[in-house]
Amino acid sequence: MPNKVLIIGAGGVGRVVAYKCAQHRDIFGEIILASRTRKKCDAIAKAIHEAYGGKKIKTAKLDADVVSQTVALIQSYRPDLVINVALPYQDLPIMDACLVTGTHYMDTANYEPKDVAKFEYSWQWAYQDRFKKKGILALLGCGFDPGVTSVFTAYAAKHYFDEIHELDIVDANAGSHGKAFATNFNPEINIREVTQKGKYWQNGKWVETEPHEIWKDIDYPEIGPKRSYLIYHEELESLVKNFPSLKRARFWMTFSEEYLTHLRVIQNIGMAGIEPVRYKGVDIVPLQFLKAVLPAPEELGSNYTGFTSIGCRIKGIKDGKKRTYYVWNNCSHQAAYQETGTQGVSYTTGVPAMIGARMILEGKWSGKGVFNVEEFNPDPFMERLNADGLPWNEKVDIDLGMD
């Protein structure tokens, strides 16, 4: 029987999730798109109807910070699953609404409190018992990274290794949008993420670094060498817990010189601040004001060229011998834009979110409680990546270029 989904958030990622769900009406029979600004939902619903016809997507205005509003919306539409692609700040209130109504939940980014830039799963893992008791499932972090990178790791561990020892997640955006400075997903969340200290896992403990202190020129397939910086990324926390054989786990992301120079200036002049500043009698959070003047990620699509390349480089042991494995996807910004009207970073997040939703609705991923993506069988998800626009490649026993 076709299912009903409620998508919360009508930004770049929400747009892609809605497009991709609308491509599979046999699974996603009814789609409701709700967000803070209803006209964004309406514009997406209209574009999808023009592209595919079929049953119209319903839209609603929702402030998901207010649990009672989300509860009322869920009660009026009775969705089988809530796909949260608003901002990380909304994770907990939306999980609360799912608990009240007994509805499955999923998201693509872990909860962050508004007043501290801090990425950790503790707040959401704390819902474990309540979700279990209610008999519902919460799937955390089902975008690309976290999400596909976690599935890639689970797939490698299942099929290629007896034990995985070293994991390097390598994330390159080799695209060009023609703007002097813009972020590829929500600027506030993005800048909070990349300005924090670096951190990686080594021999059973976390090692902290200054922001961008460690870098390396990493060779990406079809792209070539790109300067990549060691940053902390949230999937490391759940992956080292779920794969305790990991002796080292690191995350690398490319940034251009131009991006980093702008970022330094933004920080030096206080525009990355998250403490409110009183200006002409009004409290303004500098980073939120900056978001208002920067290009919106969903506007970057039309001139975006080049590729993203994200994958996992893994070392470990198989049948007593050392083994290496690299699995990755390259995604074209232009192709993403042609299909969904937005760029590759939103696309690479929205497609896995739709696939995760599909896994839950088809019962391929099931359970009661709070789960990270790597805890489920990676195989059906890997199959869908190939079918739904994010085909992957793999190489075994090569020089990974990571020391």
- List interacting residues with ligand NDP (CB under 6 A): 8-14, 35-37, 40, 62-65, 85-88, 90, 108-109, 143-147, 185-186, 189, 297-298, 345-346, 349
In angstroms, rounded to a whole number, what is the distance separating the alpha carbons of residues 77 and 4?
8
In angstroms, rounded to a whole number, what is the distance separating the alpha carbons of residues 219 and 2?
44
Residue 152 CB, nearest distance to ligand NDP (Å)? 13
Q: Given the complex with ligand NDP, which of 139 and 323 has the nearer CB atom?
A: 139
Residue nearest to ligand NDP according to CB distances in the complex: 11
Residue 340 CB, nearest distance to ligand NDP (Å)? 12
In angstroms, rounded to a whole number, what is the distance separating the alpha carbons of residues 112 and 123?
9
Provide the residue count of the chain: 403
Taking alpha carbons only, the member of 153, 157, 154 closest to residue 168 is 153
Q: Given the complex with ligand NDP, which of 90 and 242 has the nearer CB atom?
A: 90
Relative to beta strand 30-35, strand 4-8 is parallel
Residue 317 CB, nearest distance to ligand NDP (Å)? 29
Q: Given the complex with ligand NDP, which of 38 and 216 has the nearer CB atom?
A: 38
- Torsion sign (Cα): 193, 194, 196, 201: positive
Q: Given the complex with ligand NDP, which of 324 and 336 has the nearer CB atom?
A: 336
Residue 15 CB, nearest distance to ligand NDP (Å)? 7
Stretch (H or E) spanning 393: strand 393-396
Residue 85 CB, nearest distance to ligand NDP (Å)? 5
Q: Given the complex with ligand NDP, which of 148 and 361 has the nearer CB atom?
A: 148
Helix ranges restricted to H, 106-223: 122-125, 128-134, 148-159, 187-195
Residue 149 CB, nearest distance to ligand NDP (Å)? 8
Backbone angles phi, psi at 314, to 5 degrees: -130, 135
Q: Given the complex with ligand NDP, which of 175 and 316 has the nearer CB atom?
A: 175
